[in-house]
Amino acid sequence: MKKIIVSLVLLISIMFLFQNKLNAQTGNSVLRHIVIITFKQDASADSIQALDNIYMDLSKSPLVKSFEMGVNISTRDTGVIKHIYVTSFGSKDDMDNYRKIPEYSKLFKVSLPVSEDVTVADYWAKQ
């Protein structure tokens, strides 16, 4: 009898954990991928625009739920140009497959020569 109870508790626990993971990857939340790029002082406007254009093109992928970008206007970061790119996905698989899009590799070719610093954060947004 004890084995049956322990087995049931274990089964219920596993089902609960699986359901929570499933909820995190379905309509109950969104996976956000944030990239903040600090550009070098000598980065050309054309190079920055080229990077913006790549992000805009990638945002048209059906894997992307939403996309937004902008330039940091915080008064804390005077004298540096920072662009913020926020891409949202419905699942981790969507984000992983997004990284396999051929144009994705262009991001690095364009951004690395003009970037002073890059910060990346991925998180499940609670809505």
Say what percent of the chain tops pLDDT 70. 78
- Sorting pLDDT into bands at 50, 70 and 90, what band is 65? very high
Write phi, then psi, for 120 (nearest 5 degrees): -125, 140
What digits encode the pLDDT tens for the residues 33-58? 999 999 999 999 999 999 999 999 99
Q: Is residue 16 one of the residues assigned to a domain? A: no
Amino acid at 6: V
- What pTM does this model have? 0.75
Query: How many domains are there within the chain?
Result: 1
Q: What angle do CA 59, 84, 41 make, to 5 degrees?
A: 125
Per-residue confidence band for 126, with pLDDT thresholds at 50, 70 and 90? confident
CB-based contact 30:90 (threshold 8 Å) = yes
Q: What is the arithmetic mean of pLDDT over 18-36? A: 71
Residue 40: give the domain boundaries. Answer: 29-126
- φ, ψ dihedrals at 43, nearest 5°: -65, 130
In a domain, 7, yes or no: no
Q: What CATH number corresponds to the domain at position 57?
A: 3.30.70.100
User: Does the pLDDT value for residue 72 go beyond 70?
Assistant: yes
- For 82-98, how does the pLDDT look when each residue is reduced to its tens digit (9 = 90+)? 999 999 999 999 999 99
Tokens of 7: 């087995």
DSSP 92: H
Residue 59 lies in a domain: yes
Q: Where does the pLDDT of residue 127 fall: very low under 50, low under 70, confident under 90, or very high at 90 and above? A: confident
**Domain annotation covers residue 19:** no
Q: Does 76 reside within a domain?
A: yes
